[in-house]
Amino acid sequence: MIAHSQLRALGLSASAIEHRVRTGRLRPLWRGVYAVGRLSLTREGWWMAAVLACGDGALLSHISAAMLWGIRAGGPMAIHVSVPRSRDARHEGIVVHRRTNFGPQEARRHKGIPVTSPACTLVDIATGLSEGQLEAAVNEADKLDLIGAADLRLKLDGLRRPGHARLRKLLDRPTFVLTDSELERQFARISTKAGLPKPLTQAMVNGHRVDFFYPDLDLVVETDGLRYHRTPTQQSRDLARDQAHTAAGLSTLRFTHAQVKFESAYVEETLARTARARDRAAPRGRGARRRPPSRRGRGESA
**Domain segments of the chain as ranges:** 41-172, 180-288
pLDDT per residue rounded down to tens, the chain (302 residues): 899 999 999 999 999 999 999 988 999 888 889 999 877 888 999 999 999 999 888 999 999 999 999 999 876 778 999 998 877 778 888 999 988 766 677 899 999 999 999 999 999 999 888 888 888 888 888 888 898 877 888 888 777 778 888 888 888 776 666 677 788 888 989 999 999 998 998 899 999 999 999 999 999 999 876 544 456 677 788 888 899 999 999 999 999 888 888 899 999 999 999 999 988 876 654 444 444 444 444 444 33
Residues 160/162/165/168 CA torsion (nearest 10 deg): -70
- Annotate the chain with three-state secondary structure: CEEHHHHHHCCCCHHHHHHHHHCCCEEEEECCEEEECCCCCCHHHHHHHHHHHCCCCCEECHHHHHHHHCCCCCCCCCEEEEEECCCCCCCCCEEEEEECCCCHHHEEEECCEEEECHHHHHHHHHHHCCHHHHHHHHHHHHHCCCCCHHHHHHHHHHCCCCCHHHHHHHHHCCCCCCCHHHHHHHHHHHHHHCCCCCCEEEEEECCEEEEEEEHHHCEEEEEECCHHHCCHHHHHHHHHHHHHHHHCCCEEEEEEHHHHHHCHHHHHHHHHHHHHHHHHHCCCCHHHCCCCCCCCCECCCC
Q: Please state which CATH class domain 180-288 belongs to.
A: alpha beta
CA distance 174 to 116: 25
pTM score, two decimals? 0.64
- Give the burial class of 163: count Cβ atoms within 10 A of its Cβ; 0-12 exposed, 13-18 middle, 19 or more buried: buried
